[in-house]
Amino acid sequence: MNAVNLTGRLTRDPEMRATTSGGDVCGIRLAVDGPRDADTTFIDVTAFGKLAGNCAEYLTQGRPIAVSGRLSYGEWEAEDGSKRSKHEVVAHQVDFLPDGRQRDTEDPAQDVEQSDGGS
């Protein structure tokens, strides 16, 4: 079974773009802490469709989230001809977690889920 569950903070604001067919895609990078501060792992996460739109609209750098999805692997050739590859998580669900640093208690999108219509 290919299932991934992560909790962490966004390292930057989400990056919204469109697929070649015009669908919404949102890329985020998640910092996931290990048992010690030095064990932080950075994970690329991609969301599609309505989930992508909600992530782009409501998430900002530093926001804590929980992501459920699947691990995906891609290969491509860079402009310089070198081969590149990358693992990423394709999100099925993103839970917007409370942030003790924020005073704003109003959050219209606490729990967003989608079917895997992406890649």
Structural domain contains residue 30:
yes
Residues in Cβ contact with 43 at an 8 Å cutoff, skipping those fewer than 6 apart: 6, 8, 29, 30, 32, 88, 89
Structural domain contains residue 22:
yes
Query: According to the model, what pLDDT value does residue 88 have?
Result: 96
CATH of the domain at 64: 2.40.50.140
Segment 79-95 mean pLDDT:
96
Q: Could you tell me the pTM of the whole model?
A: 0.79
4-48 pLDDT, tens digit per residue, is 999 999 999 999 999 889 899 999 999 999 887 778 999 999 999
Residues in Cβ contact with 91 at an 8 Å cutoff, skipping those fewer than 6 apart: 45, 46, 47, 51, 55, 67, 68, 69, 114
Structural domain contains residue 56:
yes
Structural domain contains residue 44:
yes
Q: Is 49 left (phi over 0), alpha (psi -120 to 50) or beta?
A: left
Structural domain contains residue 90:
yes
The residue range of the domain holding 65 is: 4-113
